[in-house]
Amino acid sequence: AKNDVTLKAKLNTNNGMAKNSSSNSANIGGGNTDTGISTSNHRNLRSNQPSLKIDMEFPTKKVIPFEKGADKYSGVVTMLKESLYSQSNEAVVEEFIEFVGIDDAGDDLLIELTPEGFSNVPRYMEDISLKPMLEFGEYNRGVII
C-alpha cells in the first residue's frame, strides 16, 4: 500500500455483471479464468461481449471544493488545458469541469469532468503533457480525474 492507501478492486455482480467466485477480485491486464472474460487491452469490444465493471473502495476523506473563479480553480483550468486539452481555449476547458477539490489532508487533487470533457481526454500518452500536473503545487500526492 503506497502512502497508506490500499486499493481493493472487485467485480460487480449486479445486473448480470461478471463474478469471480473464488476471490471477487479483478484480474487487470490479463485473463480471468473463472469467468472466461478477458480484461486485456486487446480484447474484442463488440456489443455482444459481456461488460465488466470494477468497484474500488477508498478510505473516506473530506473534500474541500475549489471555488469557481478563485485562483486555485483557475490554476486547475490552466493545468488541465496545458496537460490534456492543448488545442482548446480555457473557456472550453472550464465547461468540461464539474467539480474540483482537494482532500482534507492536501494529498489528492480531485477533478470531475463532464462526459464530454472525459471523452475529449487524449487517448494516447504522447498527446498528454504530465509536466503541468507535476508542477502544479496544490497537492502532495496525485491528481485524480
Mean pLDDT of the chain: 76
- Here the cell at position 93 is 476547458
Residue 99: which residues within 8 A CB-CB, separation 6 or more? 65, 110, 111, 112
Helix, strand or coil for residue 35? coil
CA torsion 20-22-26-31 (nearest 10°) is: -80
User: Which tens digits make up the pLDDT trace of 56-83?
Assistant: 787 788 999 999 999 999 999 999 999 9
pTM, full prediction? 0.61
Q: What is the pLDDT of residue 58?
A: 74
User: Which tens digits make up the pLDDT trace of 108-139?
Assistant: 999 999 999 999 999 999 999 999 999 999 99
